[in-house]
Structure 1
Amino acid sequence: MNFFRHRLNTFFGLPVLVLLIGATGCSSADDNASTAVPSPDTKVTELCQNLDKVLPKKVDGLGREDPEPRSALTAGWGSPAIILRCGVERPPKMVDPKVALGDDPDAVGGGVNGVDWLMEKQDDGSVRFTTASRLAYVEVSVPKGRDTSGVLVDLAASVKKAIPKGIAD
């Protein structure tokens, strides 16, 4: 009888195990956003790693959910995710005279809690912010429909602490 019970458990246990493994593959971890990881030089990478260590656990009330692939150069909060990328290239509009003069309605400069940002409206309705006057460029993308007011406020202290003032290049 033990032999029969063992065979029965093996017979029914294997399909259940396969089903469980398949279901785990479709977990919420697959819902994470994905983003391109920047590839800055060694000095900027070190600054970005320092930023990653001091980033807040919540931004605008949303918990941290980092995008794939995992990297100390990227971070995310909420779903759809607010995505931070550190060590990005300088945005072309940052040196555009139209932006400097305030003549480009899709790109505006300004400061929040001691950190200067370039705000660029994207074609998909999202907004991208990039730090200015810092030794590394930090980009923050906020999805369409999400309020941006608390995002930069929540990130300012971390940026000030980890990315010194200066001109990145």
Structure 2
Amino acid sequence: MPRRPHLSHLTTHVHRRRRLGPLWGRGVVASAALVLLAGVLAGCSPGEVRVDDHDLSDADRATCEALVDDLPDTLGGELRRSVDADGGPGAAWGDPAYVLTCGVPAPADYEPTAECSDVKGVGWYVTDDQLSDLRVDVTPIALSRTPYVELLVPSRYRTDGVDRALAELAPVLEEHLATGLDCL
């Protein structure tokens, strides 16, 4: 039986939900899978992601740009993607993409008595309708830091990716952003 190539160093490049295991034992199918994987690793990407631009002061824009420069190369196990240079300060990872937007306004429905979730020292606010339906995308906003940051989390990642992604972002948000609203 031929030996399979050692791919442990490539595991972060393959989404955990896409299981290639059974294909490795079937010659032609395995070869096609390797060619496809090589194409993905060679730089094929699903294109640039658009990040909304909001009205920011010069100081907030500079803060957001510094934050974006320090964001991780992976988030929730997904690789960072290119964003449209004409958009606002932000970043994207994966396909469908997690999309971080820096400098978003406070949510219109937020009230000081609203609850938010503390994840590693950062308070994230999510509307009740998004919390109750796992089939919809969710957009937590880090209200305990300013300028405010929003992370669009596609529904595909709801069950295992939301808390992980927010926890991975916490250190860089705390490093770059000032204290915002208190989290209840």
TM-score by length of 2: 0.63
In 1: Cα distance, 2:108 partner to 2:125 partner: 11
For residues 147 and 48 of structure 2, what CA distance do their matches in structure 1 show?
26
Percent sequence identity over aligned pairs: 26
* The one of 45, 52, 55 aligned to 2:61: 45
1:90 maps to amino acid: A
* Cα displacement (A) at 1:164: 1.7
SS at match of 2:139: strand
Selected match of 1:117 from 106, 115, 124? 124
1:156 paired with 2:161, answer: no
Q: Which residues in structure 2 correspond to 1:40-119 (within 5 Å)?
A: 40-69=56-85, 73-95=89-111, 97=113, 100=114, 109-119=116-126
4+ long deviations beyond 3 Å: 27-30, 69-72
The structure-2 alpha-carbon separation of the partners of 1:59 and 1:71, relative to structure 1 and needing over 3 Å to count, comes to: same
- One-letter amino acid matched to 2:142: T
Higher helix share: 1
TM-score (norm 1): 0.68
Partners of 1:90 and 1:137 within 8 A in 2: yes
* Structure (1 or 2) with the larger CA radius of gyration: 1
Give the deviation of 1:74 after TM superposition.
1.1
Q: In 2, Cα distance between the equivalents of 1:51 and 1:70? A: 18
Number of paired residues?
132
Aligned to 2:3: none
Instruction: Tell me the CA shift for residue 71 of structure 1.
Output: 5.2
Specify whether residues 152 and 48 from structure 1 end up closer, same or farther in structure 2 by C-alpha distance, changes over 3 A only: same
Q: CA RMSD in A?
A: 2.4
Residue 49 of structure 1: CA displacement?
1.3
Q: For 1:70 and 1:56, locate their aligned partners in 2 and report how far apart those are by CA, in whole Å.
A: 21
Contact 1:66–1:74, Cα closer than 8 Å, also in 2: no
Residues 150 and 70 of structure 1: is their aligned pair in 2 closer, same or farther, counting only changes over 3 Å? farther
